[in-house]
Amino acid sequence: TYCYNAVIYGFCCNNELYEATRVFLEMKSYGVSPDVYSYSILIDGFCKKKDVMRGFDFLEEMEMGNTRPGLVIYNILLDSLCNCREVELALKLFHEIKASGYKLDRISYNILIDGFCKQGDMDSALRHFKEMIKMNFDPDVFTFTSLIHGYCKMGCLEKALEIIELALGQGVSLDTVSCSVIIEGFCKEECIEEALMLMDEMRDLGIIPNSFSYNAIINRLCKEWKSGKALEVFPLMLKRSVAPSIVTYNTLIDGFAKELNLKQAYKIYAGMLKHGITPD
């Protein structure tokens, strides 16, 4: 079963769901029973392709057989519903899970909170945030990042900053992802200076920036028709051994093209090819 699961997982990661399903059926035909891992891997594969229905089909199959779906499977389905913008259905499932005697966990709450944040429903997000604390699940950096991102997206930088204080007060440290989200938030509000200051603070705190962190700044500068300035960020990235990603290149090319500096745009394109990145 371990062997089959690994293969199914591999196909799912490659988005080859058809192959994954074939292996799943094959293992059954050889008399090897799929376990709860086999199901969760496959269900997650379909769910990530937004085929939640198929996920529920497998859930049903599992319930008919002798495999008891665990909380992980329900979390996968919850997340998928949220990603299909069906947070209301996710909430419904959330309550059904609770009613059927499963103990939800921190991840279940994180999924639901993130779903509300993505929908811009910060009130519901906060309500479940409080509920999670009441249930004695400590919010982690995932929880806080979702909330911060939610507030940043709706332009409530002050609220986002309050959440950061809350996190730090609870002893939850920021990491690369959460800092990048905040940098993006600053950039969105045209506070490049603050964004750059945060980059410095990251350095002092030993939080390694990645291309996401820099891309936020580059993107902001390009949006302000300052592609030249944006290009100056490039060496800073290299100095800290952060490799530019395809998004970095796309952003800069778009910025220069917009300014009709096609020569520079082409130079960046050429540099991208030289670094072995395939244009998309």
Partner RNA sequence: GUGUUGACUAG
Which one of residues 254, 259, 261, 267 is an interface residue with RNA (CB under 7 A)? 254
The footprint of RNA on this chain (CB under 7 A) covers a number of residues equal to 53
Closest approach of Cβ 15 to RNA, in Å? 14
Three-class HEC string of the chain:
CHHHHHHHHHHHHCCCHHHHHHHHHHHHHCCCCCCHHHHHHHHHHHHHCCCHHHHHHHHHHHHHCCCCCCHHHHHHHHHHHHHCCCHHHHHHHHHHHHHCCCCCCHHHHHHHHHHHHHHCCHHHHHHHHHHHHHCCCCCCHHHHHHHHHHHHHCCCHHHHHHHHHHHHHCCCCCCHHHHHHHHHHHHHCCCHHHHHHHHHHHHHHCCCCCHHHHHHHHHHHHHCCCHHHHHHHHHHHHHCCCCCCHHHHHHHHHHHHHCCCHHHHHHHHHHHHHCCCCCC
Count of Cβ atoms closer than 10 Å to residue 53 Cβ: 11
Any contact of residue 37 with RNA (CB under 7 A)? yes
Judged on CB neighbours under 10 Å (0-12, 13-18, 19+), 149 is buried
Any contact of residue 124 with RNA (CB under 7 A)? no
Give whichever of 22 and 173 is closer to RNA, judged by the CB atom.
173
Any contact of residue 41 with RNA (CB under 7 A)? yes
Give whichever of 177 and 277 is closer to RNA, judged by the CB atom.
177
Q: Which stretch in 89-97, 123-131, 155-163, 213-221 sits in contact with RNA by CB under 7 A?
A: 213-221
In Å, what is the CA distance from 241 to each residue of 55, 80, 218?
41, 35, 16
Q: Which stretch in 15-23, 25-33, 69-77, 89-97 sits in contact with RNA by CB under 7 A?
A: 69-77
Which one of residues 46, 58, 124, 213 is an interface residue with RNA (CB under 7 A)? 213
Which one of residues 7, 19, 49, 70 is an interface residue with RNA (CB under 7 A)? 70
Residue type, 174: L
Any contact of residue 230 with RNA (CB under 7 A)? no
Any contact of residue 2 with RNA (CB under 7 A)? yes
Give whichever of 94 and 142 is closer to RNA, judged by the CB atom.
142
Any contact of residue 178 with RNA (CB under 7 A)? yes
Positions 129 through 148 that interact with RNA (CB under 7 A): 140-143, 145-146
Closest approach of Cβ 178 to RNA, in Å? 4
Positions 43 through 62 that interact with RNA (CB under 7 A): 44
Which residues contact RNA by CB under 7 A? 1-3, 5-6, 9, 35-37, 40-41, 44, 70-73, 75-76, 79, 106-107, 110-111, 114, 118, 140-143, 145-146, 149, 175-178, 180-181, 184, 210-213, 215-216, 219, 245, 247-248, 250-251, 254, 280
